[in-house]
Amino acid sequence: MTQSLEPHPDNPLIVQGDHTVLLEVDNPRYTLARDALARFAELVKSPEHVHTYRITPLSIWNACAAGQTADRIVEALRGLSKYPLPGHVATSVRDSAARYGCLKLSRHDDATLCLAARDLPLAEELAHQRALLPLLGERVGSLEFLVAAANRGRLKQTLIKLGFPTEDLAGYVAGDAFAMALRAVSRGGHPFAPRDYQREAAGVFHAGGEVRGGSGVIVLPCGAGKTIVGMACMAEVQASALILATNVTAARQWREELLDKTTLREEDIGEYTGNTKEVRPVTIATYQILTHRRNQTAEFTHFALFDERNWGLIIYDEVHLLPAPVFQITATLQARRRLGLTATLVREDGKEDDVFALIGPKKYDVPWKEMEKQGWIATATCTEIRLPMTETRRMEYAVAEARHKFRIASENPDKLRLVRQLIDRHRDVPVLVIGMYVDQVRSFAEELNLPLLTGATTQRKRDEVYERFRHGDLRALVVSKIANFSVDLPDAAVAIQVSGMFGSRQEEAQRLGRILRPKPGDNQAHFYSIVSRDTVEQDFALKRQLFLCEQGYEYRILTLDRPGELLPAKAGSLSPTS
C-alpha cells in the first residue's frame, strides 16, 4: 500500500492523539494517502491546504467488514505519517477492529438464538448492561445467552450503540422459491453481462449461501449500475424478492431493468405504490407508501406488505435515504436476507450505526475515482461559482433573522443569468438545472422556457418529460430536489445546482451522480454549484462537498467581484482548489 513503512518528514499525514488525521493537499503522496484514508476514516473538513479526517469505531468496523485488517490500517497510518504514530491511536484501531466479531449471534432452535461472547469479562459486561436486560434470555454457559428470535434486530441495535458490533451468523429463511436468471442478450436485443465488479459485489453479498453472506451494503458510485448488482443478487438467492425504492419513477426504472435484463415476465413483477397495490413474486414498493399513515399517532397502513409473502430477499435501494420508520420494521425482519444499495453511507440524521446493525455492514466498496479511471463512470469537473449580491439584497440579508439568511442567499436572482450563460456554453449536451426551493425553480423554468418537474408533478407528466429528455427533444430541464433520487437521466452531461439542502453531503453526492453515467466521446461531465459569496450559503457549500472531496473530486472556485458580472469566456481561467 505504501512505499515506506516508517514516518518521514516528507509524508502527507499528521495523526493526532484525538483520532483526527491531517492530510496535506500539496504533497506528492496526497492521492495515495487520500485513497488509503477513505477506506477507514471519515472526512470532516476540506479547506484548501489541509484536510481533516476522523477515525471512529464505526469507520473501523465497516473497513473490517469490507476486508481491511487492523494491521493494514495501522501500517497505512504509520507509513504515510510525518511523525511517529501515537501509540494509543494504534491501540485504539486494534481494539475497535477486535470488537468486530467479538460477539456472535447464531441459531439455537427455531424460536431462539444464542449470543456468544469472546471471553468472560465481555460476557459479564453484557450481563450487567441495563439496556440489554429485556433482550437477553437465559444464560446457558459462562459465555452464552439465549435470545428470542423476535429480539434479533433490537439486540443488534442496542449492542452497536453500546460499542459492540455483532456478527450475525443466525442464518436466514429461504423464502418462497422463485427461479429467475440474468439474460445474455437483453430484451432490447443488446448483449448483456454484469461487469466484473458487479458480479464480484453480488458474490461477496451472497457468499455462496453461507451464513456470513446475505446481509450488508454495497457501495458504488451513482451511474455504476447498482441496480444490476441487485438483480445479480436476486439471481443468486432464487427466491421471492421485495424491492424498496425512493419514488415511483425509481420503482418503474427497476421494473424496466428487470424486464429488459432478466427472465422475469411482466406478470411476475408487482408494483406497490400510491395508485397500484400488486403483490407478486417480485414486488417493488416505495418508501413513501410504506411510511404512509393517517396521522402522527396512527399505525403505518402498509407495513403489512412485509408479511404478504415469504420474502427471500429485501433490497433497500438508496439505503442512505431509508426513513426511520422502515428501520423499525426492519428490526423485525432479521431472518430475511437484506441488501442495501447506495453511493454513500453518509446519513445526515447520524443513523449510520442503524444501517450497520439492521441492514448489515459494508460488504463491497469501490472508490469513485477508481471507477472513473476504468471508464465505468464519466470524468466529472466540479466548479463552484461564487457571485455577489446586489446592495439591496445584501441589506435584506444583513437585517434578516439567522434562520432566513440561507434562503435569501440561495434565491439570489442574479443566479439566473449565470444559469442562462452555462446552458448556452454547453448548448450541445443535455443540461439539468437543480434547485431546492419550488418558487425559485419555477421562476427559472419560466424565464428559460424549460419544463419544470417537482414533487407535485404527476407521474404521467414526469414520464413524458423524461422520455423527451432521453431522446434529445429537450436540451435542458429544471428539476426540484426530486433529482436527488434514482432518476434515470442517462444522457445528462451537465448539472447546474442553484440551491441545496444546507450542508447535505448526501445530496451533493446524489446530484453529481445524476451526470456520471458513461458518455460517448470524451466521457466528460460538468457539475456547477452557484452560491452567493460571503454568505452562509458559501459556508454550507464547503460542508456539502466533503464526501466528494473524500472520493477525490476537486472543486474549482470562481469568484465574481461585481453584481451582474458574467463568467469568463474560457473555463480554463478557473483556478483549481479543493
Strand partners, 50: 24
Residues 512, 221: Cα–Cα separation, whole Å: 10
Greater model confidence, 488 or 363 = 363
pLDDT score of 5: 62
Q: 578: pLDDT confidence band, cut at 50, 70 and 90? A: very low
pLDDT score of 576: 37
Q: Is 330 helix (H, G, I), strand (E, B) or coil?
A: helix
Greater model confidence, 279 or 492 = 279
CB 61 within 8 A of CB 159: no
Q: Which three cell numbers stand for residue 206?
A: 451472497
Query: Can you count the helices (H) and strands (E) in the chain?
Result: 21, 23
| HEC string for 183-222 | CCECCCCCECCCCHHHHHHHHHHHHHHCCCCCEEEEECCC
CB 67 within 8 A of CB 216: no
CB 553 within 8 A of CB 511: no
Q: Name residue, grid cell 443488446.
A: 190
Closest CA to 178 of 120, 121, 236: 236
Has this prediction a pTM greater than 0.75?
Answer: yes
pLDDT score of 570: 61
pLDDT score of 485: 67
Query: What average pLDDT does range 267-288 have in this prediction?
Result: 94
Q: What is the layout of strands, in order, in the sheet containing 13-15?
A: 13-15, 20-24, 50-54, 42-45
Query: Domains of the chain, with CATH numbers?
Result: 13-99 (no CATH), 103-169 (3.30.780), 196-366 (3.40.50.300), 372-576 (3.40.50.300)
- For 385-415, write each residue's pLDDT tens digit: 999 999 999 999 999 999 999 999 999 999 9
Across 78-92, 400-414, 437-451, 510-524, least confident range: 510-524
pLDDT score of 503: 87
Greater model confidence, 552 or 411 = 411
Helix, strand, coil shares of the chain as percentages rounded to 5? 40, 20, 40
Mean pLDDT score of the chain: 91
- For 181-233, write each residue's pLDDT tens digit: 999 999 989 999 999 999 999 999 999 988 888 999 999 988 899 999 999 99
Q: 486: pLDDT confidence band, cut at 50, 70 and 90? A: low
| Residue 88 in this model has a pLDDT that exceeds 60 | yes
| Residue 520 in this model has a pLDDT that exceeds 90 | no
Residues 424, 483: Cα–Cα separation, whole Å: 22
Closest CA to 409 of 299, 532, 539: 532
Which DSSP state fits 182?
B
- For 319-375, write each residue's pLDDT tens digit: 988 888 998 899 999 999 999 999 888 888 888 999 999 999 999 988 888 889 889
Q: Which of 6-10, 78-82, 567-571 has the highest mean pLDDT?
A: 78-82
pLDDT score of 275: 82
